[in-house]
Chains A and B, each alone.
Chain A
Amino acid sequence: MPARFRPTTFALAVLVGGAGALPAQEPARIALESYALPNGLKVILAPDRSTQVVTVDVWYNVGSRNETRTRTGFAHLFEHMMFQGSANVKKAEHFQLVERAGGNNNGSTAEDRTNYYEELPSNRLNLGLWLEADRMRSLAITDSSFTNQREAVKEERRLRVDNQPYTGAIFEGMYALADSATCFPYSHSIIGSMDDLNAARVPDVKAFFDLYYSPNNATLTVVGDFDTAQTKRLIEQYFGGIPRGAEPPPVVCQATFSPGTIRRTWPDAKATLPGVLLAYRLPEYKSDDMPAIELLSTILGQGESSRINKTVVRDKKLAQGAIVLANPAAPRRGPGVLLALGISNQGVTPDSLEKGLSEEFAKVVRDGVSEAELAKAKNGYRTQLITQQQQTLAKAEAIQAASLFLGSPEAVNTNWRRFLAVTVADIKRVAGTYLRPENALVLLITSGAGQ
């Protein structure tokens, strides 16, 4: 595919988590069973024996929102530590064991959760479960691996943030809306600051592990080709002996809406073209308004026939590409954010692009959307959900997201109804509530060429 709009491809690839994948139209229902071990570990099993693939997916209820003011970036740095070995797994052996088995594994950190998964040929389910159990019960935390991983994370920051155009602006849009004084959890980026990374120490790692990586703060989901009874026995054997930990402290965030428009210029030395980023404050993910907001973001800025692509990109030729996304990294239990990013065509100033984008937001606030637009967005939503259900990993992530953000794994089978129930009146109402100028941050991104 020709990458006509690389920056957002980047943004999607790097930031989008696995939430929101729910069944649709007449989708195959995901058969689920959930229970908890005595130590508090939540377990969700979803067998599907049609292929020889199984996914083990563990979500810890911790992310950048749990970080303290002087340790931003720590949840992500800690995620790296989870691959540095445990009592029975040597440093870097985790990757090797999974790769030798022919599997894939990774972890990622978002604002609200940290995930770890193994996709495996189904005869190696035991390996995936054992690797997750071993690090949950006995993570190795040494000076040398910590120093090493801190450097790797700094390198990741250089690679993905400092050395890339538009990323700084996207981060600013994601986190500048929350007030650092009243809502620190959502006012700083997942990648964190270099100074905080440099200041992090080994005892911080130990404390973080004890506080957040106990079984009672985790959910284990297994999806794919496995025998339920046998798998339950394995889970008991591997995870049953891990002691329960203390309950982590609550996360506090006071959301503010519509305090007045914030406008800034954002010089981006790495950008060769200027651009504009609009960010709007959203409610928490489980809010009744979210299905309408997500469908509205599709109508505004996803797909070629979306409003902004039709007007701003095609008709007015102000941008070479534009996209609108609700919660670009992953859902949040605290206040969310809707981002609109446009990258100027050659010869277009940020000011005129901003005018073009803002007009579209004003129009939807004033006039709402048509029935046809809403139907189209719902159809797109259905296809997307069904597509995601073709692989065990995406299913596992969808189940986890339902469990964490909607309060029940079973919501993976029902949440789509909330989307299909959205009316044009709902859309107009949420547009009027959240997409007003006084609820927005406007970043005028000037290119390196603009000095």
Chain B
Amino acid sequence: MNPLRRWGAFALALAASTAPLAGQEYPKTPPPPGPLTPAPFPPFQEAVLPNGLRILVVESHKQPIVSLSLSFAAGSIFDPAGKEGLAEMVAGLLTKGAGTRSAEQISEAIEGAGGSLAAGAGPDFLSINSTVLKSSLPLAMELVGDAAVRPMFPETEVELLRTQTLSGLQVSLSQPDAIASRIFQRTLYGQNPYGRSPNPASVKAATRSDLVAFQRARLRPTGALLVVAGDASLAEVRALAVKTFRGWVGAPPATPVFRAPPARTKTELILVHRPGSVQSNLMIGNLTFLPNDPRTYSAAVANQVLGGGASSRLFLILREAKSWTYGAYSRYARHKGVGSFEARTEVRTEVTDSALRETLAQLRRIATEPVPLPELEAAKGSLTGSFPLSIESADQVADAVANARLYGLAPDFVQTYRVRIGAVTAPQVQATAQATIRAGAAAIVVVGDGSKIYESLKGIAPISIVDPEGKPLTPADLSPKVVALDLDLSMLVPRRDSFSISLQNNPIGWQRGLLDKTADGFRYTEDTHIATFVNQTTVLEMDATGRMKSVKQTGKVQGQDAMVDVVYDGGRAKGTATTPDPQTRQIKKVTIDTVVAEGTIDDNAVQALLPALKWKAGAKWTINVLSAGQAEIKPWTLAVSGTESVTVGGRPVEAYRTELTGPPAPLTFWVSTAAPHLLLKIAIAGAPVDFVRVP
């Protein structure tokens, strides 16, 4: 045989060892990795301007695009107490009028060039970011510079952002994951700044001069970091930066010594009662370490084994094996101050306790058992193998280096990361997990329907219950109590309650309630008309002691027939209700046949009976209420929160401000402090609708 041909065959065989030939057999096992040429971390350049501004440039000329990011130690941890949300508001306003441009001129300029410009604040840092086509780099630098150094904080923009922030807070109260995160942070960090979050009062308290003072003090060049990635050179960036930031000097004040977060020695559970929730959101975790802790690498491996991804224990068990959830993950959160570990998942209501117990078991397991070698190698392989993917674009390279610099990680963190991960051992993982994943001293937050999950969670850890805003509740607020209502029957005299219903002061309807004596008790007839949305009449019969006898409701709600016909007799409620289902808009017919505890009232009876409650400052009632449309009995709470003056018929009347929680939307009632205790006004949480008494 021709030696050349033999050599050719040999070469082909070699190639086939990594790249099999056509017609070769289909492999029955995963093909082994090919060789990966070790690639050094992509190059980047750094410089410091005379005013202390650091510059980091990652050059890439693959596409005519460049991104800028200017970061400051000016995150929400620097919000003054009582003004939480200030840093985020500052960030939001930096691009709303700066230099010589109004907000609209800024957005016209950047969007006209096809670019983007935005600023945001996290717990530690405030960043201004822009991405533009290469030809617009000078414009982007100018806009970023104006935003950082010359923001104008126009009053109108401040108020617009305040309105939007308040609305955003309102929206976040409807989002279970946002509720869970907020309460979890608060529980972990307490009064430490990482535990605080904006609330309506703090957002309202922040003045324009607070915003200006924050920007002037904290947005200073010393310690700030300008990162440029893409189609630009260091020389080009430096020249632009020198021009843009001329005359800008100084350093932010030193970071104050914050109050230490609470030390936790045992596990506690915060149950956030979200009535009607079809899922429970779980968060479990504890405080950990500072960003430059040497355990960073073993912690990353521990987390990868436990909950870093879809091949980690939590996902494989909670989702794949048990089908309890769509996903279950864990992570270490890095802060400039002490960080945290958290595991989180969302599960359907019925398996809340099982999922929580299993998650806790997995947290204990990683802290008490060495990770088996194949699992350890898989986790390390994943972390090192994913590194090329994390630095695919110039932006990503820049982010990785910027993070290392901002958090004060080791100078060679990005270059040595893979090697250090590769060196982690099973005993190191266990030791780190034992110290930093503390199932026995964890904060657990569960956001869900407390009436369905409280009992099953009781055995897991001591529970405190709060509402989505974090206000304390008692178990009685969750579950029906067998307590008769204590009524002052002498107050149930014939009366007429008339209300004008208005939307932002524009009348849109009316309500009239009539209480009459009957042969053996009372009849309450209520008519409600709100524009085209609601037109209904309710007739409620009660006996002489205020017990429910029957309720009949007819009319239309949002154009669809709504009907209730329920009879209360012998400790049972029986009947039917027809209501439009809010999800499907289909008419939903509900059959009711249920035991009702003594003292249970119909939801339509609340207004009828108000004057007969024994009113005084600080009074609080928990009442079992049957809502026929929802086919459920649950406790509603009526609590006097203070005294306020209400204008009725042009005259001020002193009233108990009273919060009603339990119905789908919480209500506020104002009831006259003087007898007879008449209902003067009703407001609906989150809706701009008022009912005001017409004398």
Contacts and interface: CB of A to CB of B under 8 A. Distances in A.
Interface of A: 1-7, 25-28, 50-53, 87-89, 91-92, 95-104, 119-127, 130-131, 133, 137, 147-149, 151-152, 155-156, 158-160, 162-165, 168, 227, 230-231, 233-234, 236-238, 240-241, 264-274, 303-306, 310, 314, 317, 320-321, 343, 345-349, 372, 375-376, 378-383, 386-387, 389-392, 446-451
B163 A345 contact: yes
Contacts of B503: 349
A310 B104 contact: yes
B378 interface: yes
B19 A230 contact: yes
B404 interface: no
Given A26-B64, A122-B36, A379-B114, A346 B688 contact: yes
Nearest to B161: A4
A254 B281 CA distance: 43
Given A88-B28, A267-B558, A449-B665, A53 B388 contact: yes
B111 to A, nearest CB: 5
Contacts of B165: 4
Interface string B248-287: 0000000000000000000000000000111100000000
B395 to A, nearest CB: 7
A355 to B, nearest CB: 14
A27 B64 CA distance: 7
Interface stretch (B219-227, B320-328, B485-493, B566-574): B320-328
Contacts of A124: 33-34, 385
B114 A376 contact: yes
Contact of B30 (A87, A95, A130, A305): A130
Interface in B83-103: 88, 91-92, 103
A442 to B, nearest CB: 14
B38 to A, nearest CB: 10
B652 interface: no
B10 interface: no
B175 A6 contact: yes
Contacts of B324: 155
- The 7 residue pairs across chains A and B that have the minimum distance between CB atoms: A102-B385, A379-B114, A96-B311, A449-B686, A123-B36, A102-B386, A449-B665
Contacts of B558: 265, 267, 446
A451 B346 contact: no
Contacts of A96: 310-311, 378
B389 interface: yes
17 contacts: A53-B392, A99-B382, A101-B33, A103-B386, A121-B387, A122-B36, A124-B33, A155-B346, A158-B279, A233-B21, A265-B533, A305-B104, A345-B163, A349-B503, A383-B115, A383-B133, A448-B686
A237 B665 contact: no
Contacts of B663: 451
B36 A121 contact: yes
B384 A102 contact: yes
Contacts of A240: 22-23
Contacts of B582: 267-269, 448
A3 B181 CA distance: 14
A366 B108 CA distance: 23
A165 B164 contact: no
A99 B63 contact: no
B411 interface: no
B583 interface: yes
Given A121-B385, A272-B170, 4 more contacts: A123-B36, A165-B171, A238-B26, A269-B664
Interface string B178-190: 1000000000000
B209 interface: no
A29 to B, nearest CB: 11
Contacts of A389: 63
B348 interface: yes
A269 B131 CA distance: 39
Contacts of B115: 379, 383
Interface centre among A375, A390, A446 (most CB of B within 10 A): A390
Interface residues of B, number: 112
Contacts of A347: 504, 688
A386 B382 CA distance: 29
B392 A392 contact: yes
Interface string B654-672: 0000000001110000000
Contacts, number: 313
Contacts of B276: 269
A387 B279 CA distance: 37
B394 interface: yes
Nearest to B25: A237
B311 A450 contact: no
Given A265-B533, A449-B687, A450-B684, A237 B120 contact: no
Contacts of B20: 233-234, 237
Given A92-B316, A349-B688, A163 B278 contact: yes
Given A165-B175, A379-B114, A314 B160 contact: yes
B50 interface: no
Given A26-B64, A379-B133, A320 B163 contact: yes
A382 B133 contact: yes
Nearest to A450: B687
A348 B310 CA distance: 43
B278 to A, nearest CB: 5
Interface in B568-591: 580, 582-583, 585
A241 to B, nearest CB: 6
A317 B160 contact: yes
B628 interface: no
A295 to B, nearest CB: 12
Contact of B171 (A95, A343, A376): A343
A274 B504 CA distance: 14
B388 A273 contact: no
B172 interface: yes
B163 A7 contact: no
B35 interface: yes
A233 B30 contact: no
A305 B110 CA distance: 9
A159 B381 contact: no
A278 B557 CA distance: 22
B118 interface: yes
Contact of B389 (A4, A95, A103): A103
A390 B63 contact: yes
Contacts of A88: 27-30
Given A101-B382, A119-B389, A28 B310 contact: no
Nearest to B532: A265
Interface centre among A6, A51, A104, A151 (most CB of B within 10 A): A51
B311 A447 contact: no
Contact of B63 (A27, A95, A151, A321): A27
A198 to B, nearest CB: 14
Contacts of B65: 383, 386-387, 390
B320 A237 contact: no
Given A97-B30, A159-B346, A346 B170 contact: yes
Contacts of A317: 160, 163
